[in-house]
Structure 1
Amino acid sequence: MRAVRTVLGDVPPERLGVCDAHDHLFLSSPLLPGQELRSASAARAELAAFRELGGGSVVQWTPYRMGRRAADLPSLARESGVNIVAATGLHQARHYGDEVLAEVRGPRLAEVFVAELTVGIGVSGVRAGLVKVAGGFHGLDAHARWTMAAAAEAHRATGAPIAVHLELGTGALDVLDLLCGELGVPPERVVLGHLNRSPDLVMHRHIAESGCYLAFDGPSSAHHATDWRMPDAVLALVEGGFGQRLLLGGDTTTAAARSVNGGPGMPYLLRRVRERLVAGVGEGVVGRMFTENAGRAFSVEWR
């Protein structure tokens, strides 16, 4: 039986409701000094605002040793009534100090992923529901290849989906060649993120033809020029017959971006992005992106 692994346990995919397919409640990185997402009260407020607009689930892509605060997630899920999916995985090397990477050198990385998917993250007992890894700008370095090989091994052991940060939306075909070609991960178990940041409609179609999921997750102040192109990119994929492969997310990565601090935050996805997409492709199609598509992308016959 297929199920989505949430921080409160496995649930059937139809229980997700409206799903923010890529966001962060907690996140810390040396690349974001002073902008870390550490406040539990702010996370609680974001979830409440998201729930008020009809939100039902949030998939947090924060991976290993980036401030996930896994122990806080169950209480936030219970209080808000929003399903939360946690992640294992490893981001680009620049998000970590050498000492962190040394902890998981070699084959141990896959073991860490599998343990967090099946036993729990640290002592929290919270099990992750996906593996998050990252590519580079128009390519894959040795670190990306290492983490993706470990992600593929964890997928084979558990069935878990693999979510990929594409740097500025680039490198998707290299990722698919590695994950789905060389490493044998079924494309329907792969979610490619940040495709809104590279609005190349021809490339999007090639990616969609592989059978993977395409996540349009933003907005991003660093890439605001692509925001207005996103509805056209979504429309082109829907008209091409790929609407069942599209996911939508908010990807809040800094404290300043939270709605409680005057930014768009998680509510923006349902407050503004949804209505703009509905105008372009219709309410039914957008509704399925938020619900049915997310349920298929993140549900697993867990091993």
Structure 2
Amino acid sequence: MSAVRTVLGDIPAEQLGVCDAHDHLFLRSPLLPGQELDDAAAAEAELRAFQELGGRAVVQWTPRGMGRRRGELARLARETGTHLVAATGLHQAVHYTPAHLERARDLLAGLFVADLTLAPVRAGLIKVAGGFHGVDAHARQAMVAAATAHHMTGAPIAVHLELGTGAREVLDLLCGTLDVPPGRVVLGHLGRSPDIRAQLEAARSGAFLAFDGPSRAHHATDWRLVDSLTTLAEAGHTDQVLLGGDTTTAAARAATGGGPGMPYLLRTLRPALAAALGEEFVTSALVTNPARAFAADWWPR
């Protein structure tokens, strides 16, 4: 039976509810000094602010080695009643020390599978990352391991597209060479590139399309969002659209940092999209599609 693997265990997909399909409660990277998401109280405040607006689930895309804090995720899920999905996987090489990568290089697939099936707090998706307009050697290695782990467990694969680019190259590798079904792939950051032709091409592949933001670094893409989603909906791809906040810095949090944060997704974006595209579209993007994108026929159970 298809289920979403949360930090507290598997749940029927239809129980997921209103979902922020790409966000971060905890995150650290040498690229973001002083902006780490490592304050558990701030994470709880942000999560409760999202919950007060009707949010019921958050998919955290923070992969291995970037401060996932899975124990805290489990605590927050228990205390708030929110469904939280954690990630395994590996981001771009720039987010790690060379020593960290060297230690993990030959073990990636096994590490991913262990996170998904054996860890006390199990992951529910595999996060990997492409390069700018392509797939570099590091990304290829991570994606090969991700595909192996997918075939062993059924887990969905979520992909960071650098500035929204490289979807074709990612899909050629994952779905062409490595035989991952397109419907098991979630492409992130598509809104960061305004090329609607590339967005339509990605949609025609059958992959899920995550439009995530806003953020201070990529705010110029926000005003294009409705146009992109309208084009995709008119082309028949409503059932592939996902929405997320992608809060990556302490300053971007709404509850404690003065940013739009997780609540923006439901406070501002939801009514705007309902006015432009209708309530049926919003329900698909926030409820129905995430339940399909992040559910799997897990093995082993």
TM-score computed with the length of structure 2 as normaliser = 0.98
Q: Counterparts of 1:115-264 in structure 2 under 5 Å? A: 115-120=114-119, 125-259=120-254, 260-264=256-260
1:276 has 2:264 as partner: no
Q: Distance in 2 between matches of 1:74 and 1:142?
A: 34
* Cα distance per residue 1:131-162 (max 9 Å; x no partner): 00000111111000000000000000000000
Root mean square deviation of aligned Cα: 0.7
CA shift, 1:86, in A, is 0.2
CA shift, 1:105, in A, is 1.5
Aligned positions, number? 298
Q: Counterparts of 1:98-117 in structure 2 under 5 Å? A: 98-106=98-106, 108-117=107-116
Give 3-state SS (helix, strand or coil) of 2:296's partner.
coil
- Aligned AA for 1:113? F
Which position in structure 2 is the counterpart of 1:36?
36
- Aligned AA for 1:99? A
Give 3-state SS (helix, strand or coil) of 1:105's partner.
helix
CA shift, 1:298, in A, is 0.2
- Aligned AA for 1:278? A
Percent identical: 66
Give 3-state SS (helix, strand or coil) of 1:11's partner.
strand
Q: Counterparts of 1:3-42 in structure 2 under 5 Å? A: 3-42=3-42
Which position in structure 2 is the counterpart of 1:95?
95
1:291 to 287, 290, 298: 287
- Aligned AA for 2:118? V
Contact 1:134 1:165 in 2 (8 A): yes
- Aligned AA for 2:26? F
Q: Distance in 1 between matches of 2:253 and 2:216?
A: 12
282-291 or 27-36: bigger deviation: 282-291
Q: Distance in 1 between matches of 2:19 and 2:79?
A: 17
Q: Distance in 2 between matches of 1:19 and 1:135?
A: 24
Q: Distance in 1 between matches of 2:163 and 2:245?
A: 15
Give 3-state SS (helix, strand or coil) of 2:100's partner.
helix
Q: Distance in 2 between matches of 1:38 and 1:222?
A: 20
CA shift, 1:62, in A, is 0.2
Q: Distance in 1 between matches of 2:195 and 2:279?
A: 24
Contact 1:51 1:81 in 2 (8 A): no
Q: Distance in 1 between matches of 2:114 and 2:136?
A: 25
CA shift, 1:273, in A, is 1.1
241-250 or 282-291: bigger deviation: 282-291
TM-score computed with the length of structure 1 as normaliser = 0.97
1:62 has 2:62 as partner: yes
CA shift, 1:204, in A, is 0.9
Which position in structure 2 is the counterpart of 1:81?
81
Give 3-state SS (helix, strand or coil) of 2:56's partner.
strand
Give 5+ residue unaligned stretches, structure 2: none
Give 5+ residue unaligned stretches, structure 1: none
* Cα distance per residue 1:61-99 (max 9 Å; x no partner): 000010001111111011111100000000000000011
Give 3-state SS (helix, strand or coil) of 1:191's partner.
strand
Q: Distance in 1 between matches of 2:227 and 2:282?
A: 13
Q: Distance in 1 between matches of 2:282 and 2:91?
A: 29
Q: Distance in 1 between matches of 2:103 and 2:282?
A: 42
